């Protein structure tokens, strides 16, 4: 067994990177988050997200079906908050409307598909991305493919327990938490970070 | 699915790819469209990578346009040419292991009945002739014997078409294909008759050369599967690539086969199904 601590860093790590969970990366407890495989207080991870978004050349949000479709009460409000966050960070938005493996018909300029997310990242030269509203199993697949084949920095804003395979992962992300990250982005911009 | 759930979150309309916006605005959900409305609404199949002139693609397009309740239909597919098209279909669809489609569909339908006892959820198997009549025949027959409330639609291109052209049980006797150079030694399987004897409430053979007939068969089969028991439709979908005719000759090919008696439209309705259909007709009047 390796004694080296596994770090979840931007790739390309290789064709088949290991699942971070299999390398000993555990999910955070409530109030905590993951930064590059290490458990940290949630606030620290939020600051890191704001920093990464503001310093990236081409940050992009990838909202998934849970956010793109107004399928239950509260989604529209959350969607608006995510749009505000993307605007504050100067990030583009590329949607993941569903999970059909539409290869090779996908247009990587305007959509992302979890089965080959690397195409969208390569095509648009994305160096930091944010997953939100993507069902856990598809987020896990996509995050691993991105880490394996690209140098993109991945951030997962997860409504459940978080994602080990993202470089930064928040858990239990709800409307107040999205707004909090937006505030941090605005504050850091005022402080001169961009 | 309630159509009211199928709306884009406000503010994201402009970033959604056009085909999704069109599906929301002009899709067939809750509209009751049929094959005669093709060209006036956004179809459930966006594009597909199947060959030019593919009879199977044409049949699939018509079947999707004929579904009585697309918003509450779940399709179960299997390996074959159709499985290459299904990722482009804007309906719930599940790809099963090769030949396992009817077993999966049976379990799915039973689960849906338990989960949504007050809602109609149509489970429709759409698979090729290899998956239905050869590799998956066991599962197909068992779903009929057990009277599962599912519809099985076979897209019959009379070959294993995307693996280079091997004969299937549905290829006519004497057929010569790329990988069947000496000709098929036994006749085409009579699956509509087998379906009838195996307990299907409805069995039919149709083709895209007669769209209204195909639509009627699809609607009858799905409605009877809801109410009575298993149903089966065989859609003759000639393959220009493996049978080596020109892509624009697909429909002519079907008509030629009708003329020489090697393909005919069939319809078998069980007495119970007949009675139910008569009651529906009476209510309509």
| pLDDT tens-digit map of B3-36 | 677 899 999 999 999 999 999 999 999 999 999 9
pLDDT at A104: 66
Contact B17 A107 (CB under 8 A): yes
Question: Hey, of B12, B84, B86, which one would you mutate to test binding to chain A, going by the most A CBs within 10 A of its CB?
Answer: B12
Is there a contact between B46 and B28 (Cβ–Cβ < 8 Å)? no
Q: Is residue B17 less than 8 Å (CB to CB) from chain A?
A: yes
The alpha carbon of B80 is separated from its chain's Cα centroid by a whole number of angstroms, namely 13
Which regions of B1-113 does DSSP assign to beta strands (E)?
Answer: 73-77, 92-95
Relative to beta strand B122-128, strand B73-77 is parallel
Question: B1, B3, B7, B9: which to substitute to probe chain A, counting the most A Cβ within 10 Å?
Answer: B9
Specify the residue for token string 């690209």.
A150
Q: How far is CA B204 from CA A128, B65, B67, B124, in A?
A: 55, 18, 16, 15
d(CA B198, CA A168): 57
Q: What's phi and psi for B237, nearest 5 deg? A: -130, 80
Contact A79 B46 (CB under 8 A): no
Taking residues A67-91, report their average pLDDT: 96
B contacts of A69 (beta carbons < 8 Å) = 5-9
Residue written as tokens 């994201």?
B12
For chain A, say whether B49 makes contact (Cβ under 8 Å): yes
pLDDT digit string (tens) for B135-194?
999 999 999 999 999 999 999 999 999 999 999 999 999 999 999 999 999 999 999 999
Nearest chain B CA: its distance from A82 CA (Å): 10
Among the partner residues A80, A93, A101, nearest to B15 by beta-carbon distance: A93
Is residue A94 within 8 Å of A84, Cβ to Cβ?
no
Q: Output the average pLDDT for chain A.
A: 94
Is 50 exceeded by the pLDDT of residue A1? no
Answer for the pair B101, B119: CB distance below 8 angstroms, yes or no.
Answer: no
pLDDT tens digits for range A20-69: 999 999 999 999 999 999 999 999 999 999 999 999 999 999 999 999 99
- Contact indicator for B188, B107 with CB cutoff of 8 Å: no
For residue B205, give the nearest of B259, B152, B264 by alpha carbon.
B264
Closest CA to B101 of B157, B144, B140: B140
- What are the tokens at A51? 């920093």
ipTM summary value: 0.90
Chain A residue closest in CA terms to B17: A110
Are the Cβ atoms of B17 and A111 closer than 8 angstroms? yes
Q: Taking Cα atoms as reference points, which of A192, A175, A166 lies closest to residue A49? A: A166
Residue of B nearest to A72 (CA): B5
* CA B39 to chain CA mean position, Å: 20
A97 touching chain B per CB within 8 A: yes
The Cα–Cα gap between A146 and A117 comes to 7
The residues pairing with A93 across neighbouring beta strands, listed in sequence order, are A61
Given this model, what pLDDT does residue A105 score?
74
pLDDT at residue B285, rounded to an integer: 82
Partner-chain contact A102 B87, CB within 8 Å: yes
Q: Are A63 and A93 within 8 A, CB to CB?
A: yes
Query: Hey, which residues does A62 pair with through a beta bridge?
Result: A131
- Within 8 A of B7 by CB-CB distance, chain A residues are 69-70
Q: Does A68 touch chain B (CB under 8 A)?
A: yes
Put simply, the answer to whether B12 touches A104 (Cβ < 8 Å) is no
Residue B62 host element (H or E) = helix B55-66
Residue A193: band (very low, low, confident or very high) from pLDDT cuts 50, 70, 90: confident
pLDDT of B185 reads: 97
User: Residue ranges of the domains in chain A?
Assistant: 33-190
CA B52 to chain centre: 19
Average pLDDT, chain B: 96
Contact B7 A80 (CB under 8 A): no
Query: If you write DSSP's letter for every residue of B136-168 in order, what string do you get?
Result: THHHHHHHHHTT-S-EEEEEE-SSBTTTT-B--
A33-190: CATH class:
alpha beta
Nearest Cβ partner of B9 from A75, A104, A110?
A: A75
For residue A87, give every residue at least 6 positions away whose Cβ sits within 8 Å of its Cβ, in sequence order, or none.
none
Count other C-beta atoms under 10 Å from residue B118's C-beta: 4
- Domain B39-284 carries which CATH code? 3.40.50.970
Instruction: Report the residue from A79, A104, A107 with minimal CB separation from B11.
Output: A79
CA distance A76 to chain B (A): 5
Report the candidate in A111, A158, A110 with the shortest Cα–Cα distance to residue A135. Answer: A158
A109 touching B (Cβ < 8 Å): no
Percent of chain A at pLDDT > 90 equals 90
């Amino acid at each position: 067994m390796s004694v080296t601590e596994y770090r979840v860093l931007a790739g390309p790590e290789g064709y088949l990177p290991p699942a971070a969970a299999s390398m000993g990366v555990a999910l955070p407890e409530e109030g905590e988050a993951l930064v590059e495989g290490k458990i940290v207080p949630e606030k620290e991870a939020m600051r890191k997200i704001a920093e990464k978004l503001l310093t990236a050349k081409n940050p992009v949000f990838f909202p998934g079906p849970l956010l793109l479709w107004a399928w239950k009460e509260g989604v529209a409000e959350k969607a608006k908050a995510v749009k505000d966050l993307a605007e504050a960070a100067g990030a583009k938005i590329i949607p993941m409307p569903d999970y059909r493996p539409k290869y090779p018909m996908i247009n990587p300029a305007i959509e992302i598909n979890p089965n080959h997310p690397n195409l969208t990242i390569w095509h648009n030269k994305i160096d930091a991305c944010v997953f939100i509203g993507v069902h856990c199993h598809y987020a896990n697949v996509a995050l691993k493919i991105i880490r394996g084949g690209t140098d993109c920095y991945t951030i997962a804003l997860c409504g459940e327990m978080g994602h080990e395979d993202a470089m930064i992962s928040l858990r239990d992300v709800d409307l107040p938490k999205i707004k909090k990250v937006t505030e941090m982005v605005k504050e850091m911009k005022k402080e001169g970070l961009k | 699915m309630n159509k009211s759930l199928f709306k884009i979150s406000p503010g994201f309309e402009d970033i959604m790819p056009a085909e999704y916006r069109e599906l929301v605005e002009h899709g067939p959900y809750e509209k009751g469209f049929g094959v005669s409305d093709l060209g006036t609404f956004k179809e459930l199949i966006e594009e597909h990578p199947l060959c030019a002139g593919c009879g199977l693609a044409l049949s699939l397009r018509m079947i999707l346009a004929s579904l009585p309740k697309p918003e509450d239909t779940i399709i179960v597919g299997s390996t074959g040419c159709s499985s290459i098209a299904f990722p482009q279909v804007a309906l719930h669809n599940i790809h099963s292991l090769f030949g396992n489609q009817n077993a999966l569909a049976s379990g799915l339908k039973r689960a849906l009945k338990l989960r949504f006892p007050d809602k109609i959820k149509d489970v429709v198997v759409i698979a090729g002739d290899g998956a239905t009549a050869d590799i998956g025949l066991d599962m197909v027959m068992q779903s009929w014997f057990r009277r599962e409330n599912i519809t099985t639609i076979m897209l019959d291109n009379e070959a294993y078409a995307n693996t280079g052209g091997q004969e299937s049980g549905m290829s006519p006797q004497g057929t010569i294909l790329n990988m069947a150079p000496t000709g098929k030694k036994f006749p085409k399987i009579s699956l509509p008759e087998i379906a009838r004897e195996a307990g299907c409430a409805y069995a039919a053979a149709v083709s895209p050369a007669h769209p209204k007939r195909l639509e009627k068969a699809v609607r009858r089969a799905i409605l009877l599967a809801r109410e009575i028991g298993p149903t089966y439709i065989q859609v003759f979908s000639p393959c220009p690539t493996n049978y080596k005719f020109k892509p624009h000759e697909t429909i002519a090919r079907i008509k030629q086969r009708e003329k020489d008696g090697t393909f005919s439209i069939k319809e078998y309705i069980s007495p119970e199904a007949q009675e139910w259909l008569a009651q529906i007709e009476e209510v309509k009047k």
